Amino acid sequence: MLSNVYSVLFMLLWLVTLAACIIYLSGHRKRHQRTLETHLAERDKSFLALQKSEQRFNSLINYMNEGLIFTDDNNLIRFVNKCACNILRLSPQKIINKSIRDFVLSPSDVRKLGLPSELKKAGCSHREELQLLRGNGEIFWAGLNISYTGTLHDLTPGSIIVMTDISDQKKAEEKLHNLTVSLNERVRQLDCLFEISDVMNIPGISIDGILQRSIEIIPLGMRFSKDIWVEIGLNNKQYRSKNFKNNNLYYLAPIKGRKHKLGSLRVGFCGNNYTDGKEVFHVNERVLIKNIAEKLARIIEMKNLEVLLEEGMLKLDELQDIARIGNWELDLIQSQVTYSEGFFDVMGVAPERRATYSPEEFYKQVIPQDVEMIKKFDNMIHSGKPGDLAHAYRIKTDTGQTRYIFGNGRVLYNEQKKPFLIIGTIQDFTGQMNKFKELV
């Protein structure tokens, strides 16, 4: 009887436990189902967001201003965006599975596209500027920024290439380069002309020295200065550079004076860079040679005038010494007086005092009784109506000798009829005066 009771109680306990387990498992399953449903909803939401993000990314890639190309480790193109297709003038179908090297114009440029295999690692990159060939056969310049990557989504390791059409930039650079080269040539040619002009300023240089120095300077104004020879003909004499070569590769310019031809300038080419059928010298170089010939003509004439002037001054000094005549000039604008050596000889001024001689020193030499006459002469000059400038006066030389001086002058006027320069002469007539006194 007692055992039956225990059996019933055990069965009741087992049924309660089973019911509790069933209730617990049922609640747990519902909670797990709700959690799973929440995760699935979040997954779907994340997937949609990712899908939209990928669509926006693909749209951005397709419509970006630069071409984008993905290649695999065999350099085959696996992806190309719309901009790259527009640059290459091809559809994606005609680009995919081709090598980027197929579009490179020069075989030598192909080698620039890839780094050595040991350097093709993620993070390595380089930039190249190459000439590529479009689908329509047009040649253009492209800037390629090449970066190497690891596995990217479903792509094998390869590279990402950002392509930019830089044809306009290259044209601008070429134009700038040509302008820079042209400007440098002009500067070099101007320097050449200036140096030849400066030769004239070398103290005491002769015509022979000017021509010899010019022969050294002229090649510096040419493109191939080391291969240039120069010959200057003047007065049946030839001046030649050390590398002179008598050939037909030269340009000739006459050295013309104002009235007649003075000589000739030949500039020739003795190098191996000359190609038949082309002008030996560029047009700017031919103009430079003509300008140098004209410059040499002016320099030669000026030098000849200097020689004639020096000879004339020597003769004038001799004549003034014989006639005991001197001259002076007064610059009314600068208020500066210039005296000739003959003036100092007539006035009997010692050589050591001539460098500092001034109008005040002149007045000290004049005999006091004749000073008023000299002042009257000065007043006539500065009044603008000098009239007769002839006058005579007495002076004392540095050695104490009394001399009789006759002076005369002339006022020079500019285009506005204003006086700007006075030139005067003095003559020692002491000998004639003494003879006159003896006769009287």
Name the average pLDDT for the chain. Answer: 81
CA–CA gap between residue 339 and residue 345 (Å, rounded): 11
Are 191 and 92 found together in one domain? no
Of 47-51, 302-306, 365-369, the least confident: 47-51
Residue 359 in tokens: 């109008």
Domain ranges, residue 126:
62-165
Are 258 and 230 found together in one domain? yes
pLDDT tens digits for range 186-218 = 888 888 888 888 887 888 888 889 899 999 999
CATH number at residue 87: 3.30.450.20
| pLDDT at position 274 | 56
Q: What is the mean pLDDT of residues 321-330?
A: 77
* Residues whose CB falls within 8 Å of the CB of residue 207, separated by 6 or more in sequence, listed in order: 234, 300, 303, 304
Confirm whether 27 is domain-assigned: no
β-pair type (391-396, 402-413)? antiparallel
pLDDT tens digits for range 81-106 = 888 888 899 998 999 999 888 898 88
Q: What is the mean pLDDT of residues 162-179?
A: 90
Are 197 and 158 found together in one domain? no
Sign of CA dihedral 85, 88, 89, 94: negative
Are 200 and 285 found together in one domain? yes
CATH number at residue 263: 3.30.450.40
CA–CA gap between residue 182 and residue 166 (Å, rounded): 24
384 pLDDT exceeds 80? no
pLDDT tens digits for range 269-317 = 886 665 544 577 888 889 999 999 998 888 888 888 888 887 777 776 6
63 pLDDT exceeds 70? no
| pLDDT at position 277 | 44
* Residues whose CB falls within 8 Å of the CB of residue 140, separated by 6 or more in sequence, listed in order: 87, 131, 132, 134, 165, 167
Domain end point (choices 306, 332, 353): 306
pLDDT tens digits for range 13-31 = 777 777 777 776 777 677 7
Is the whole model's pTM more than 0.85, yes or no? no
Structural domains counted in the chain? 3
Q: How far is CA 131 from CA 24, 94, 100, 112, in A?
A: 75, 19, 12, 12
Are 199 and 75 found together in one domain? no
Q: What is the mean pLDDT of residues 152-170?
A: 78
| pLDDT at position 3 | 66
Confirm whether 43 is domain-assigned: no
Are 134 and 196 found together in one domain? no
